[in-house]
Amino acid sequence: MEDLLWDVLRLELIAHTERADAYFVLAGRRKYLSEFLSSKAFLGQMRSKGKVQTILKLRPQPKIKITNPLPERKALFLKVLSEYQDLSFPVEISTTVGQMYPETCPTFQYQAYAWQVHAPPSMRRFYPRDHKLYGLSPAANS
């Protein structure tokens, strides 16, 4: 999940800095994609009414808050952001709902999902070094 999160954050950085359209594409054999997209690591914990909040949307859901992540996502964000103390990140991540192609295929055939990563110019940003959760202590920096 660290690689997926870092890829999405890098795409947001590019979209924000270059004012470009950014897309995250995940492809592979349908069987393995289905396993990954239904795994606990991807889905996170079940919320009220049986809902989950994934990093990449499979259905409409709220934006993923980076500055106030869900409890089960804190370690993931900390691991990714601790190495990038001096980069400006959005306070939350927003993507479109994933689109798949082809919609139906045998489990052994390839399938691809694509999400657009949004970077609205008005999105507030923060530096991990200045955040209580992600800032490293002075001893850790030496």
Does any domain span residue 38? yes
Q: Model-level pTM? A: 0.88
Indicate the residue type of 4: L
Does any domain span residue 83? yes
**Mean predicted lDDT score pLDDT of the chain:** 90
Would you say how long the chain is, in residues? 142
Indicate the residue type of 127: Y
What pLDDT was estimated at residue 138?
57
pLDDT tens, residue by residue, 44-78: 888 777 778 888 888 888 788 999 998 889 999 99
What pLDDT was estimated at residue 53?
81
List all residues 6 or more positions away from 86 whose beta carbon is below 8 Å from its beta carbon: 127, 129
- pLDDT-derived band at 137 (thresholds 50, 70, 90) equals low
The CA–CA distances, whole Å, from 91 to 42, 46, 70, 75, 117 equal 20, 23, 13, 16, 14
pLDDT at 142 over 60: no
pLDDT at 33 over 70: yes
Does any domain span residue 49? yes
Backbone angles phi, psi at 50, to 5 degrees: 70, 20
Residue 122: Cβ-neighbour burial (10 angstroms; 0-12, 13-18, 19+): exposed
- Mean pLDDT to the nearest integer, 67-91: 93
Does any domain span residue 46? yes
Does any domain span residue 141? no
Q: In the chain, how long is the greatest CA-to-CA distance? A: 53
For the chain, what is the domain count?
A: 1
Return the structure tokens found at 11. Answer: 């795409």
- Mean pLDDT to the nearest integer, 25-47: 92
Does any domain span residue 103? yes
Which domain range does residue 128 map to? 2-134
Q: Higher-confidence residue: 53 or 81?
A: 81
